[in-house]
Amino acid sequence: MKKTYILSTLVLILFSSCGTEFLELDPRGQELESNYYTTEDEIFEALVATYDVLQWQGTNGWTMKMGLLNSASDETFAGGSDASDQPSWVAWDAFTLDPFLGPQSGLWNKNFTGIYRANLVLEKLELNAENFSEEFTNRTVAEAKFLRAFYYFDLVRLFGNVPLITKTLGGDEIFAQTQNPKAEVYTQIEQDLNDAKNTFELPATIPPSDFGRVTQGAVTALLGKVILYQNDESRMGEAAALFDEVINAGIYDLEPEYEDIFKTENEFGIESIFEIQHSGNQSGGWENFANGTEGNYSVQFFGMRDFVGPTYATGWSFCPVTPKLVELMQFDPRRDATIVDGNLLKAQGASYTEGYQNTDYFIRKYAPLADERALDGEPALNWANNEREIRLADVYLMAAEAYARSGDESTAKQRLNRVRQRVSLQPITAPSGQDLLDSIFKERMMELATEGHRFFDLVRSGRAEAELENFVVGKHELLPIPQSEIDITEGLIIQNPGY
């Protein structure tokens, strides 16, 4: 039987893919589930394992969320060596998805695995509450709820109606799951985030030894984003206030130089609110591909195939940048920090093999750099680049959108122009109404290009049909439900419209 989300983590042994920055667990016998989780150290190991799922990129194949979302957008194509290299990537790029073809199984299984682990942490904390300090319990609960909300936010945006599971499942429950309306899922996400936000023990700042853990700023920013993405015009002021809470916290600021944001030495920098950690210290090989290393596989994917030349290491030519984005960024000061110009490199004597859908333009923000190539294990699987999941410029632009949609266009322009000021662009003063919103979404494309935001921006703003070839309204806003989930529940889980 094919492994599904509800079967993937019923034993703690599967927590063993935690990386070098976290505690690792080994199988401890048949009674592990019942006898474990009685000390703070053991609970913390389970929390670490819940974080660990964030960086999984090898669930049911190559399932790197950021790269896949880039392919689905108008910022990059799928790429690779040829059209048969990664059919699931090509299918989302071309919108030829079906219940059997696409990245849906990996994205579904990954997020429900994270939810299972979060539920397990919360249950064991309650079961053995007398063993833990109040401070430890409260902070751990807040982090587990943030993570559960994070995984569900991905699921509801990718699949719409999904099973809402807030406890661990066993027996017949596993096969009796049905979907909840997405409104109910969003209610649970907001409840979890509000619970975390109202937890005194969740810190505003953390020491370097805790980098990667959730802070108040991450919770507040994600809560604002969740509200914004629901497109309820009556709640835009609420979202704007949450974004301003992050902006005015005195903790974060924009990096003075845009090109510094994605440097590995600048991870957890002043602009970073929440990062997904990766490590190159595992020395993993192909036997560890399925989430067994802590590396960032996207970096290998984004590089130029068979590259010979300065600065960069060889990659696999996925996500070539579209001519549309190249043209839009032609005179934007962020262009060189966003796009690698292959033609320029070839003119300087470099060479590479042209891959599928080649445009001679490649992603720069997560490009494989020669001096950062792992020295041990399989280099392709051990890139250490963290993913900037939430950064302050994104929060400024979400605040600008929320203010514009709530009617406060003056403040909207202030938030928008703060991002433009960083790269010495002239302030925007004239637009109003829809023209102002168009300016904000264009700025999001320029500022956040190739970071995995564009597809959702197009969908939630109603622009997807106009910007994405073959996109069908009422269908392609969502991925198909994996057919295996429909089969294993004998039809209790229902396929999304159009598939």
CA distances from 264 to 55, 161, 231, 461 (A): 16, 37, 35, 33
Mean pLDDT, rounded, of the chain = 93
Tens of pLDDT, residues 276-295 = 999 988 888 999 899 989 99
Do 154 and 260 share a domain, yes or no?
no
Do 183 and 126 share a domain, yes or no?
yes
Question: According to the model, what pLDDT value does residue 174 have?
Answer: 83
Do 295 and 196 share a domain, yes or no?
no
Determine the Cα angle at 324 with ends 343 and 454, to 5°. Answer: 115
Do 370 and 398 share a domain, yes or no?
no
Q: Is 471 helix (H, G, I), strand (E, B) or coil?
A: coil
Does the pLDDT at position 6 exceed 70? no
Task: Answer whether residue 85 is part of any domain.
Answer: no
Task: Answer whether residue 337 is part of any domain.
Answer: yes
Which residue, 76, 75, 79, 71, is CA-closest to 95? 71
Task: Quote the CA–CA distance of 193 and 145 in Å, as a whole number.
Answer: 7
Tell me the CA end-to-end span of the chain in Å, nearest whole number: 23
Which amino acid does the sequence have at 52? D
Task: Quote the CA–CA distance of 379 and 373 in Å, as a whole number.
Answer: 6
Task: Quote the CA–CA distance of 440 and 413 in Å, as a whole number.
Answer: 9
Question: What residues contact 88, with CB distance under 8 A and at least 6 apart?
Answer: 61, 62, 101, 102, 103
Does the pLDDT at position 314 exceed 90? yes
Task: Answer whether residue 283 is part of any domain.
Answer: no
Does residue 26 or residue 475 have the better pLDDT? 475
Q: How far does Cα 28 stand from its chain's mean position?
A: 32
Question: According to the model, what pLDDT value does residue 331 have?
Answer: 97
User: Contact at 8 Å (CB) between 226 and 197?
Assistant: no
Do 13 and 41 share a domain, yes or no?
yes
Do 161 and 58 share a domain, yes or no?
yes
Which of 341, 362, 384 is a domain's end point? 384
Query: If pLDDT is split at 50, 70 and 90, which confidence band does 26 have?
Result: very low
Does the pLDDT at position 30 exceed 90? no
Do 454 and 328 share a domain, yes or no?
no
Domain containing residue 249: CATH number = 1.25.40.390
Q: What is the CA radius of gyration of the chain?
A: 22
Does the pLDDT at position 432 exceed 80? yes
Helix pair 216-229, 134-159: axis angle to 10 deg: 30
Question: According to the model, what pLDDT value does residue 281 have?
Answer: 87
Does the pLDDT at position 313 exceed 50? yes
Tens of pLDDT, residues 89-104 = 999 999 999 999 999 9
Which residue, 351, 354, 324, is CA-closest to 450? 324
Domain limits for position 463 = 215-277+386-468
Task: Answer whether residue 72 is part of any domain.
Answer: no
Query: If pLDDT is split at 50, 70 and 90, which confidence band does 32 have?
Result: low
Q: Return the residue matching tokens 């703070």.
A: 40
Do 322 and 394 share a domain, yes or no?
no
Domain containing residue 14: CATH number = 1.25.40.890
Which of 353, 368, 384 is a domain's end point? 384
Task: Answer whether residue 209 is part of any domain.
Answer: no
Tens of pLDDT, residues 95-154 = 999 999 999 999 999 999 999 999 999 999 999 999 999 999 999 999 999 999 999 999
Query: If pLDDT is split at 50, 70 and 90, which confidence band does 33 have?
Result: low
Tens of pLDDT, residues 167-182 = 999 878 888 999 999 9
Task: Answer whether residue 82 is part of any domain.
Answer: no
Task: Answer whether residue 249 is part of any domain.
Answer: yes
Do 20 and 142 share a domain, yes or no?
yes
Helix pair 236-247, 392-406: axis angle to 10 deg: 150
φ/ψ of residue 213, rounded to 5 = -80, 160
Q: Return the residue matching tokens 């294990």.
A: 377
Task: Answer whether residue 210 is part of any domain.
Answer: no
Do 339 and 393 share a domain, yes or no?
no
Do 298 and 231 share a domain, yes or no?
no
Report field, pTM of the whole predicted structure over 0.85: yes
Q: How many separate domains does the chain show?
A: 3
Do 173 and 144 share a domain, yes or no?
yes
Which of 345, 360, 384 is a domain's end point? 384
